[in-house]
């Protein structure tokens, strides 16, 4: 009797083994679909960045309408985390454990990506082309092989502004810095300090941080003005960047302003008082449809067509949408390179061997280039200056390679 | 010295906003006994209503007046539909309900208006006025002036009118109030309507400087609780004074206490709540409840 029972158990286990074997394959990939997931601030103070996910989604729909990638359609599921890393963790667990996604693509925000990095690396799920620029995403690949960012590293962006100040106003600049007090703002600040080098001590007269859960940065801006600075670095995000311009205006302060990339979308800048915003300097790497220079550009025209078709109510001059498309374009390239026999390992190989110069949503001269030991997909940018209600790129394309 | 004065002035400007929402919290507490966690979201919703009217080409003051009326009606409706069935059940249930209301209203505003920050053109100019190096704007003065006017009106209502007496009676002792002919149910509804309208004032005054988005008042609500506790939970004057004091206190500690900096503002506000509750639970202007046994 006991022996029979044992045999039964063995047989059951064997059957179970067979049963799982038939469904084994790459998670999230079927013969006709690839399911990928993401999380980002669809609501809350950083909701402007939701455009990245909507733009990417629109581009995937466009690719699907033209037959998909290697015969498979891309299904992109993205969830709202309101820029709260704790919520991102919930969302990503749901995406991996319930929806069984093949990969995470373009999760938005430095803190959100940091919050999920250990978990997704332990699970062996690709965390690809994160919409975050903290240097760690490109640097620490030995510890986190499944993670790769996309944006130019924030520290290098900070260093670039430092270089610009040293080149134009090294003798006269008195610099005040407003920074978001987390890995995002601090990365920009540390790169900026490094870029100023030995001059950092004498040129920076005041730095003030803010907690991203605060209601406003009025007190911080007043404090920076009181430092007597004539140059203001805004290393902030979303509404806090807008508030900085508004409060500087309210205080009657007219410094030379530098505002970091992800806070400087034309749609955000347009909300600022013209007097204060005029002459502000930032960087660009993706084509901003609101920039007159790109009027009539083929990439911007394609983006406009896709937005009209696949983003209901979308603003065709929203730079976040186009940035999302740029990421999606690179992701589709990587999927193509990973081949018909798609695996998670294959995707990681593809994203670390990028050599893409055809991305129509990136400015001329900016290429997506990676190797297994160089994981900064975008590593070149151009400076731009806000003039009479829009951005004007100036100077050549410069490297932001760490 | 200029920086000190500037921080005080900016603190008063922020504090005016905390105070006006604290006022709404105090009114609802005083006239119904409830702590309303949804007060901030109700204020945001009202501000969105006002924004929509402005967006349709209305001029400010008519839009503001209509918003107040709609908010009052909305507050009464919330009380009638959601709070009334729970009346008489433990207070905790109603408080939990207001937390649910917070989440629901936040979802509603996001669903209707989207999450992106919107510019809100207020009634007062934001161009700077410079007095001896200290800059402020008509908007800052306007926000504080409006809070003061509102607190005077509310004070008159509570102390000089029969309706005000009824409101207080209904909250303090509903059974005996009913026995002497106060329409308790109506009074509770009016209390909610009044608080919603005051919240609308706070939301509309805050929106030009904070930028309008669904989470606009969430942090402000925490500051407002601190302001209300500081001033005394049942004192309208205390709420506004508490708000102004808190705004200045947060700015000065943020500027001059180095380890607090810009990052620990919220923690400082919570420390104020704790400190007041430990040292003077009734707040600066509140009356200590005394019961004869």
Min mean pLDDT across A17-31, A94-108, A224-238, B257-271 is at A17-31
User: Which residue of A219, A246, A248 is the best one to mutate when testing the B interface, meaning the one whose CB has the most B CBs within 10 A?
Assistant: A219
Judged against a pLDDT cut of 50, whether residue A241 lies above it is answered with yes
Q: Mean pLDDT over residues A335-355, rounded? A: 95
User: Mind listing the pLDDT tens digit for each residue in A198-214?
Assistant: 999 999 999 999 988 78
φ, ψ of residue A360 to 5 degrees: the values are -75, -10
Say whether residue A183 is in contact with chain B using an 8 A CB cutoff. Answer: no
Tell me if A360 is assigned to some domain: yes
The confidence score (pLDDT) of residue A18 equals 41
Could you tell me if A166 and A204 lie in one domain?
Answer: yes
Could you tell me if A146 and A165 lie in one domain?
Answer: no
How many structural domains does chain A have? Answer: 2
Judged against a pLDDT cut of 50, whether residue B260 lies above it is answered with yes
Judged against a pLDDT cut of 60, whether residue A16 lies above it is answered with no
Residues 6+ positions from A260 with CB-CB distance below 8 Å: A154, A157, A158, A188, A234, A235, A236, A282, A283
Which of the four pLDDT bands, split at 50, 70 and 90, describes residue A270?
confident
Beta strands in chain B (DSSP E): 128-131, 134-137
Could you tell me if A305 and A201 lie in one domain?
Answer: no
- Chain B residues in contact with A44 (beta carbon < 8 A): 115, 213-215
Tell me if A18 is assigned to some domain: no
Chain A residue at shortest CA distance from B223: A215
Q: Which of A222, A239, A253 sits opposite B211 (nearest CB)?
A: A239
Could you tell me if A141 and A197 lie in one domain?
Answer: no
Q: Mean pLDDT over residues B67-77, rounded? A: 96
The confidence score (pLDDT) of residue A324 equals 96
The confidence score (pLDDT) of residue B293 equals 63
Q: Mean pLDDT over residues B257-276, rounded? A: 84
CA separation, residue B286 to residues B233, B234, B241, B282, B283 (Å): 7, 6, 12, 5, 5
The confidence score (pLDDT) of residue B290 equals 65
Could you tell me if A259 and A318 lie in one domain?
Answer: no
Tell me if A47 is assigned to some domain: yes
Could you tell me if A137 and A173 lie in one domain?
Answer: no
Judged against a pLDDT cut of 60, whether residue A310 lies above it is answered with yes
CATH of the domain at A313: 3.40.50.2300
The confidence score (pLDDT) of residue B292 equals 66
Q: B260 or B66: which carries more pLDDT confidence? A: B66
Look up residue B134 and give its DSSP letter: E
- Chain A residues in contact with B216 (beta carbon < 8 A): 215
- Chain A residues in contact with B264 (beta carbon < 8 A): 211
Angle value at C-alpha A123, between A119 and A129, nearest 5 degrees: 75
Could you tell me if A70 and A140 lie in one domain?
Answer: yes
Look up residue B50 and give its DSSP letter: H
- What is the 3 state secondary structure string of chain A? CHHHHHHHHHHHHHHHHHHHHHHCCCCCECCCEEEEEEEECCCCCCHHHHHHHHHHHHHHHHHHHCCCECCEEEEEEEEECCCCHHHHHHHHHHHHHHCCCCEEECCECHHHHHHHHHHHHHHCCCEEEEECCCCHHHHCCCCCCCEEECCCCHHHHHHHHHHHHHHHHCCCCCEEEEEECCHHHHHHHHHHHHHHHHHHHHHEEEEEEECCCCCCCHHHHHHHHHCCCCEEEEECCHHHHHHHHHHHHHCCCCCEEEECHHHCCHHHHCCCCHHHHCCCEEEECECCCCCHHHCCCHHHHHHHHHHHHHCCCCCCCCHHHHHHHHHHHHHHHHHHHHCCCCCHHHHHHHHCCCEECCCCCECCCCCEECECCECCCECEEEEEEEECCEEEEEEEEEECCC
Judged against a pLDDT cut of 80, whether residue A8 lies above it is answered with no
User: Which residue of A222, A224, A266, A311 is the best one to mutate when testing the B interface, meaning the one whose CB has the most B CBs within 10 A?
Assistant: A222
The confidence score (pLDDT) of residue B98 equals 93
- Chain A residues in contact with B124 (beta carbon < 8 A): none
User: Which residue of B113, B206, B211, B269 is the best one to mutate when testing the A interface, meaning the one whose CB has the most A CBs within 10 A?
Assistant: B211
Which of the four pLDDT bands, split at 50, 70 and 90, describes residue B140?
confident
Q: Inspect the interface and report whether the beta carbons of B126 and A249 lie closer than 8 Å.
A: yes
Percent of chain A with pLDDT over 70: 94
Residue B235 in 3-state DSSP? coil
Q: A345 or B90: which carries more pLDDT confidence? A: A345
Could you tell me if A254 and A278 lie in one domain?
Answer: yes
- Chain A residues in contact with B215 (beta carbon < 8 A): 43-45, 82
Q: Inspect the interface and report whether the beta carbons of A43 and B128 lie closer than 8 Å.
A: no
Report CA B78 to chain centroid distance, whole Å. Answer: 17
The confidence score (pLDDT) of residue B182 equals 85
Task: Report ipTM for this prediction.
Answer: 0.79
User: Any idea which residue has 């988005």 for tokens?
Assistant: B213
Tokens at residue B266, please?
Answer: 């919220």
A394 forms beta bridges with A383
Boundary-marking domain end, from A265, A284, A303: A284
Q: Inspect the interface and report whether the beta carbons of B135 and A252 lie closer than 8 Å.
A: yes
B28, with CB counted inside 10 A (0-12, 13-18, 19+), is buried
User: Any idea which residue has 């100040």 for tokens?
Assistant: A165
Burial A78-96 (b: 16+ CB within 10 A, else e): bbbbbbbbebbbebbeebb
- Chain B residues in contact with A226 (beta carbon < 8 A): 2-3, 6
- Chain B residues in contact with A225 (beta carbon < 8 A): 6, 135
The confidence score (pLDDT) of residue A20 equals 38
Q: Mean pLDDT over residues A59-77, rounded? A: 96
Rounded to a whole number, what is the distance in Å from the CA of B112 to chain A's nearest CA? 12
Say whether residue A47 is in contact with chain B using an 8 A CB cutoff. Answer: yes
Q: Mean pLDDT over residues A281-290, rounded? A: 94
Question: The dihedral of CA A307, A312, A316, A319: what is its sign?
Answer: negative
Say whether residue A226 is in contact with chain B using an 8 A CB cutoff. Answer: yes
Rounded to a whole number, what is the distance in Å from the CA of B44 to chain A's nearest CA? 13
Please say whether the beta carbons of B212 and B193 come within 8 A: no
Tell me if A385 is assigned to some domain: no
Q: Inspect the interface and report whether the beta carbons of B262 and A45 lie closer than 8 Å.
A: no
**Calpha distance B115→B48 (Å, rounded):** 12
Judged against a pLDDT cut of 60, whether residue A22 lies above it is answered with no
Could you tell me if A183 and A106 lie in one domain?
Answer: no
Which of the four pLDDT bands, split at 50, 70 and 90, describes residue B281?
confident
The confidence score (pLDDT) of residue A285 equals 95
Q: What is the mean pLDDT of chain B?
A: 88
Q: Mean pLDDT over residues B171-193, rounded? A: 86
Q: Mean pLDDT over residues A384-393, rounded? A: 94
Which of the four pLDDT bands, split at 50, 70 and 90, describes residue B80?
very high
Judged against a pLDDT cut of 70, whether residue A107 lies above it is answered with yes
Range of the domain at A173: 154-284
Q: A355 or B185: which carries more pLDDT confidence? A: A355
Q: Inspect the interface and report whether the beta carbons of A211 and B264 lie closer than 8 Å.
A: yes
Tell me if A40 is assigned to some domain: yes
The confidence score (pLDDT) of residue B116 equals 76
- Chain B residues in contact with A216 (beta carbon < 8 A): 14, 209-210
Tell me if A365 is assigned to some domain: yes
Q: B37 or A7: which carries more pLDDT confidence? A: B37
Could you tell me if A135 and A180 lie in one domain?
Answer: no
Tell me if A28 is assigned to some domain: no
The confidence score (pLDDT) of residue A2 equals 46
Could you tell me if A187 and A266 lie in one domain?
Answer: yes
Min mean pLDDT across A10-24, A177-191, A323-337, B263-277 is at A10-24
Judged against a pLDDT cut of 50, whether residue A19 lies above it is answered with no
Tell me if A118 is assigned to some domain: yes
Say whether residue A210 is in contact with chain B using an 8 A CB cutoff. Answer: yes
Q: Mean pLDDT over residues A271-300, rounded? A: 91
Q: What is the mean pLDDT of chain A?
A: 90
Q: Which of B119, B130, B262 sits opposite A220 (nearest CB)?
A: B262
Could you tell me if A145 and A163 lie in one domain?
Answer: no
In chain B the domains, ranked by start, together with CATH numbers, are: 2-279 (1.10.3470)
Min mean pLDDT across A386-395, B147-156, B162-171 is at B162-171
């Amino acid at each position: 009797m006991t022996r029979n029972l044992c045999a039964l158990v063995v047989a059951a286990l064997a059957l179970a083994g067979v049963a799982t074997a038939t469904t084994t394959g790459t998670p999230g990939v079927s013969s006709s679909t690839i399911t990928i997931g993401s999380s980002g601030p669809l609501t809350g103070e950083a909701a402007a960045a939701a455009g990245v996910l909507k733009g990417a989604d629109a581009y995937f729909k466009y690719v699907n309408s033209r037959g998909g990638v290697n015969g498979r359609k891309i299904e992109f599921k993205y969830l709202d985390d309101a820029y709260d890393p704790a919520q991102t963790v919930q969302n990503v667990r749901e995406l991996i454990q319930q929806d069984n996604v093949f990969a995470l693509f373009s999760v938005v925000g430095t803190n959100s990506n940091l919050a999920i990095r250990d978990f997704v690396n332990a699970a062996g799920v690709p965390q690809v082309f994160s919409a975050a620029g903290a240097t760690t995403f490109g640097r620490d690949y030995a510890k986190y092989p499944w993670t790769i960012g996309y944006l130019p590293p924030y520290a290098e962006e900070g260093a670039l502004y430092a270089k610009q100040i040293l080149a134009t106003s090294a003798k006269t600049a008195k610099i005040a810095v407003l920074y978001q007090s987390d890995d995002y703002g601090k990365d920009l600040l540390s790169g900026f300090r490094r870029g100023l080098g030995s001059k950092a001590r004498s040129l920076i007269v005041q730095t003030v941080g803010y907690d991203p859960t605060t209601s406003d940065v009025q007190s911080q801006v007043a404090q920076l003005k009181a430092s007597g600075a004539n140059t203001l670095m805004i290393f902030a995000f979303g509404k806090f960047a807008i508030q900085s311009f508004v409060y500087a205006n309210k205080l009657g302060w007219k410094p030379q302003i530098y505002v970091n990339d992800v806070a400087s979308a034309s749609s955000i800048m347009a909300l600022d008082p013209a007097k204060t915003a005029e002459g502000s300097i930032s960087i660009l790497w993706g084509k901003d449809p609101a920039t007159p220079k790109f009027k009539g550009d083929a990439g911007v025209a394609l983006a406009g067509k896709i937005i009209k078709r696949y983003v209901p109510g979308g603003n065709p001059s929203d730079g976040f949408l186009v940035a999302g498309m740029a990421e999606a374009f690179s992701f589709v390239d990587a999927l193509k390179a990973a081949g018909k026999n798609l695996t998670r390992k294959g995707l990681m190989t593809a994203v670390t061997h990028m050599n893409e110069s055809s991305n129509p949503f990136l400015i001329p001269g900016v290429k997506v280039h990676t190797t297994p030991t160089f994981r900064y997909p975008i590593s070149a940018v151009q400076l731009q200056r806000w003039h009479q209600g829009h951005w004007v790129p100036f100077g050549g394309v410069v490297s932001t390679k760490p | 010295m200029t920086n000190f004065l500037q921080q005080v002035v900016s603190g008063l400007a922020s504090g005016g906003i905390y105070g006006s929402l604290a006022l709404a919290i105090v009114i609802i507490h005083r006239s119904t006994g409830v702590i309303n966690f949804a007060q901030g979201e109700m204020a945001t919703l009202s501000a969105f209503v006002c924004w929509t009217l402005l967006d349709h080409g209305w001029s400010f003051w008519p839009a503001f007046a209509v918003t107040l009326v709609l908010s009052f009606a909305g507050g009464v409706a919330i009380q009638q539909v959601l709070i009334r069935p729970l009346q008489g059940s433990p207070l905790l249930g109603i408080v939990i309900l207001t937390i649910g209301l917070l989440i629901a209203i936040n979802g509603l505003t996001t669903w209707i208006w989207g999450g992106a920050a919107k510019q809100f053109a207020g009634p007062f100019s934001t161009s700077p006025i410079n007095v001896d190096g200290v800059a402020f704007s008509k908007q800052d003065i306007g926000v504080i002036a409006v809070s003061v006017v509102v607190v005077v009106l509310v004070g008159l209502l509570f102390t000089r009118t029969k309706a005000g007496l009824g409101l207080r009676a209904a909250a303090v002792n509903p059974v005996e109030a009913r026995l002497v002919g106060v329409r308790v149910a109506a009074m509770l509804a009016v209390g909610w309507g009044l608080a919603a309208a005051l919240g609308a004032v706070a939301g509309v005054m805050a929106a030009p400087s904070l930028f309008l988005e669904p989470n606009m008042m969430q942090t402000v609500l925490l500051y407002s609780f601190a302001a209300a506790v500081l001033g005394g939970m049942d004192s309208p004057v205390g709420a506004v004074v508490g708000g102004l004091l808190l705004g200045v206190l947060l700015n000065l500690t943020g500027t001059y206490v180095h380890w607090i900096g810009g990052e620990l503002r919220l923690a400082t506000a919570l420390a104020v709540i704790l400190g007041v509750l430990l040292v003077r639970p009734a707040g600066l202007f509140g009356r200590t409840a005394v019961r004869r046994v």
